Structure formats: C-alpha cells, structure tokens
Structure 1
Amino acid sequence: MKTLVKPLFLLLSLGFFSACNEDTPEPVVPLEAVLVEDLAAPNDVIDRVTGQVTEERPFQYFSLETNSLVSESEDWDLAFKGTTIRVNASKDVKASIVTGIFEEINIVPSSAVFTTDTESTFAIPTGSGSGWYNYNPATFTVTPIPGRVILVQTAAGNYSKIEILSYYKGNPPVAEINPMTTPSAHYTFRYVLQANGSMNF
C-alpha cells in the first residue's frame, strides 16, 4: 500500500503546483523612459533682412520603434527641423498633445484627439504657445511648455508618450542659455513606447 500511496501523492502534488503555476499571472515589467540627447535638427538659414531662405536644410527623421535616426524612405515616425516636428502621414502616424505630468500619464486619455499632418496643418502645431514650446521675444529663447506631453501612434501602430526637455545643446538650465552662442535645434527628450499595441504605459 505504501508504494502505491507515495506515487499518487506525488502526482497530486505536482498537479496542484502545476495548476498554481498556470494561474499565476505573468509579472508586469514596468516600461522605462528612453532619453534622447542632442538630436541636431538645424533650421533653414534665413536672411534676417529679406526674410528669404538662403540655405534649405533637411529634416531629421526619427523612429520611435528603433530609437534611431533613419532615412526618409524608412518607417520614420517623427521628423525634426528647427521648432517644427512632423509626423509621417504616409505611414498613418498620428499625434495628440495633452496636458499632464509625464510620469502620471499611464494610459492614453479618452479625450486625446489624434490627427496626422496635412498639406496645410501639422498634427503637432507650430508657433509659440500652440504646440510644445514657448518663444520669449525678450530673451530670444525657445523653451518647452511645462506639462505638455506629445502622444504618438507610430508607423507600427504602437503608442508612445513624449516629453521634450530642451531645445538647446547640452540641455542647459534656462538661465544659462545665450541665444547668440548656445546652439539651438538640439532636441533632448524622453519617451516611453508601449510595444504591445495597448494604450497603457
């Protein structure tokens, strides 16, 4: 009898632990923010007297999925030049600007309205106070608007949240920015990408 009871007990025990393992949820790995530093995207050179463009510079194309600069022919999500940020309309990339604390936005808000670029409009508006930045005509500086977060649906259909931290090389404190000597159009930003297609961050 003993030799029959022990194997039966072991089988029942293994079955019990297997059932527990099947019911145990997968651990949730928190998403980490990626920091992008000094993405250089200089604007066109403009004659300050005539207002004419004397040198046209290219956009810099960036993939949120691969965290890298790519060519225009690849699956880019955002394109940077000066203070302008484009989204890849040809790949149905969409963006929405929301107000909130970056760390506290853990789901795409139901109130977020996503749009893509058209021939006459940008999904991420340009102009001081309209999109992600303010321009101070007294100090000639561009600074990110506190609490502005850019949400993007990427070319792969995934959601990302982005906070632009600085427009100047080296991410200097605002008080130390000299518009005559501090290189501008050098983006420092952080973002979180949800790669599983859900709206949760």
Structure 2
Amino acid sequence: MYIRMMALILLLSSCKKEDNNVAKTNYEDGISTVIRDLAGDTEASVADGVEGKERRPFKTFYFKLGTKLQSWDSSAANRKSNSWDLAFTEVYNALVYVNNGSVAGPGFGGPGKGTIIAVDSPYSAVTMAPVTDSNLNFVGWDGYPQAYNTGWYFYSLSTHLAIPIRNRTFILRTAEGKYAKLELINVYQGNPPAVTDLYWPAPYFTFRYFVQEDGSRNLKTP
C-alpha cells in the first residue's frame, strides 16, 4: 500500500501547462452522455511550491449520472443518500467509487446499490450487463505493484504519467440499481491523445456513459 501511494504521489506536479490545443475524439453516439473536462480539485497539490496550489488532500466530489450534476458536499447526509452515483476521491480524484451502502467507501451506511466490474472490451461492444453482479465498489489504477487489474489507467513508474487504458469498459449499477456502462477516458485537460509533460493540467475528467432507464440489462449503444 505504501509503494502504491508513493507511486500515485509521483503523478505529482499539479500541472500548469497551458497549451491544450489537442485533437478531440468524437465520442458522441446519439445515446450516451459525454462529459468533457469536468474539473476535479484543481487547487490541491501533492507537493509544496506549486504555483497557485496548496499542498493538501484532494477534496472528494460526487457525480449523478442521470442529472449530470457534480457536487462537493461531503456531509454524511449527502454521502448516505442516492443523490450521487460516482465519487471521485484520493490523489488527483482518480480513485472512483460507486455508491454502495454495504461495503467500505463514501456511501457506506446509506441506501446505495452501486456495483462495478471491468470488461476488457470496447465501449460500443458492451451490449449486456452480466447476470451476476460484482461486489466491487471502486476502480483505481493498474501497474506494479497492484495485484488486481480493475483500474482505468496505467500508472507508469518510469514516466510518472497516467496512461488511460483503452478498450476497458466498466459495467455498473447506479445508486438506485439501474444498469449502466462507463468509459473513463482521461484525467488530463483537453483529453490529449498522449501526454509527455508532468505539468499538464489535471485533474480534468473526460468520460462517457449510458444508463438503461427501463431497468433491463440491455446496454446496447451505436
């Protein structure tokens, strides 16, 4: 755990690059919701002396899939409610929890029914939620020395950069128990196709998702 946290901390240098003129990928399919550059706690830093930032823990924010609303309310009343589906936590807000009231996490003790599993398949190819739901309630990162492979990005120990894992889709249940699929695309501003600069602005989240409102397991999108 200590090694894991030190590796995450080396994601460092809370990013001050200003040139974000990068190519945009079109993730629109007419059904899914696409969120671009949702700002996390951009005023926090893991190191001292970063201009315009404060060395402190990153504040958790909460996101409701159906309403596309972001909240910074970490009160017990909010955490133990169905007002959110995803909680973006820890260093660079990159540890993502679903709202599950039965296991340890931000929603513990509340009514949330959230679960999440990873599927190594392109987003459009994921068309059905499995019959058996996982009890997993968060996804983080892949890379040594982590033993499990449920992360949404690979943390490089050589470059100290986060590299999003392509063609990895997450099937989840919302706080109310509806089935959905989610693609976490990037943590860097502008969704650059590649990042080679430790100072690139982060965390700014790009992701897309589809919630099946009829209660079925059908997750087919174009």
TM-score normalised to structure 2 length: 0.64
Change (3 A) 1:94 1:170: same
Report the identity percentage.
28
Offset from partner CA, 1:32-89 (integer Å, 9 cap, x none): 11100112224853348xxxx9412211100112122134415111111322111222
Match of 1:86 in 2: 97
- SS of the counterpart of 1:168? coil
Residue 183 in structure 1 maps to residue 183 in structure 2? no
> Which residue in 1 is equivalent to 2:173?
153
Is the Cα contact below 8 Å between 1:92 and 1:116 reproduced in 2?
Answer: no
Hey, what does 2:5 align to over in structure 1?
none
Distance 1:67 1:92 in 2: 19
How many residues in Structure 1 have an aligned counterpart in Structure 2? 160
Matched, 1:195 2:213: yes
Cα deviation 1:132-179 (Å, max 9, x = unaligned): 1101233322121122111110012111101112110011120x5422
> What secondary structure, in the 3-state scheme, does the structure 2 residue paired with 1:37 have?
strand
Q: Does structure 1 conserve the Cα–Cα contact (< 8 Å) formed by 2:115 and 2:133?
A: no
2: CA distance between counterparts of 1:87 and 1:38?
20
Name structure 2 gaps, 5 residues minimum: 1-28, 49-53, 102-111, 144-148
Instruction: Give, in whole Å, the separation in 2 of the partners of 1:177 and 1:76.
Output: 34
CA contact (8 A) 1:89 1:116 kept: no
Higher percent of residues as helix: 1
CA–CA distance in 1 between the matches of 2:189 and 2:140?
23
Write out the 4+ residue segments of structure 1 that deviate beyond 6 Å after TM superposition.
none
Matches within 5 A, 1:1-201: 32-42=31-41, 45-47=45-47, 54-70=55-71, 71-72=73-74, 73=78, 75-81=83-89, 82=92, 83-90=94-101, 91-110=112-131, 113-117=133-137, 123-128=138-143, 130-174=150-194, 176-180=195-199, 182-201=200-219
Give me the whole-angstrom Cα distance separating, in 2, the residues matched to 1:150 and 1:200: 14
Using the alignment, how far apart are the partners of 1:114 and 1:78 within structure 2?
A: 16
Distance 1:190 1:177, change over 3 A: farther
CA distance in 2, matches of 1:158, 1:31: 20
TM-score (norm 1): 0.70
Task: Quickly say closer, same or farther: Cα 1:107–1:31, change in 2 above 3 A.
Answer: farther
Which structure has more strand as a fraction of its residues?
1
Deviation at 1:106, TM superposition (A): 1.0
Query: Aligned partner of 1:85: which letter?
Result: V
Query: Could you tell me whether the CA contact under 8 Å between 2:152 and 2:168 is conserved in 1?
Result: yes
